[in-house]
Amino acid sequence: AERGFPFTADELPHALLAAGAAPARFREWAAAGRGCPELSGAWHRPLFVGGWEHSTDEDERVFNVQTPTLFVDLRVPRSRPDLSARSLRECSDDGLRILARQHAFAGYTLPGPREGPEDPLVCTRHHVVDWNYVGAPRPRPNKWRVEPQPPGAGPGPGAGAG
């Protein structure tokens, strides 16, 4: 596995989107109960490190919403000026360029199999909506290890409203 988890090409975030197969596959996974109810929630992330890049909540506000199967990830640069527009139609050309720099994506969170009960849960996010997807798929999976807090420990880093 290069830089992290081992993966196959069908685990890449845009593989199903590029093949036009995402909606049908998501319906199959949902019908088979392939979700993870304990992941449901909403949080913000104060730090992102990945792909040799990083950003903090000083650079952008990041919000995540996760249901047992679906997710939304929204990233808003703090340097974005107030556009004072109520719709895209009201935006100037410069305002539309600014909005085009937003990053938002959504899709299905698929939990992977566990070898044993003590093994961490690893989930893979498959994108079906990606604001900045322009036909060049991401070369590594959107895969992450679930690390729940012990009972009574309170929210972990990044939990809470932003």
Task: List the single range of 8-12, 95-99, 147-151 with lowest mean pLDDT.
Answer: 147-151
Task: Provide mean pLDDT across the span 3-13.
Answer: 81
β-pairing, 70-77 vs 60-66, is antiparallel
Q: Cα separation of 104 and 78, whole Å?
A: 15
Q: Cα separation of 2 and 50, whole Å?
A: 13
Residue 145 phi, psi (nearest 5) = -90, 130
Q: What are 72-120's pLDDT values in tens digits?
A: 988 888 888 888 888 999 999 988 888 877 788 899 999 988 878 788 8
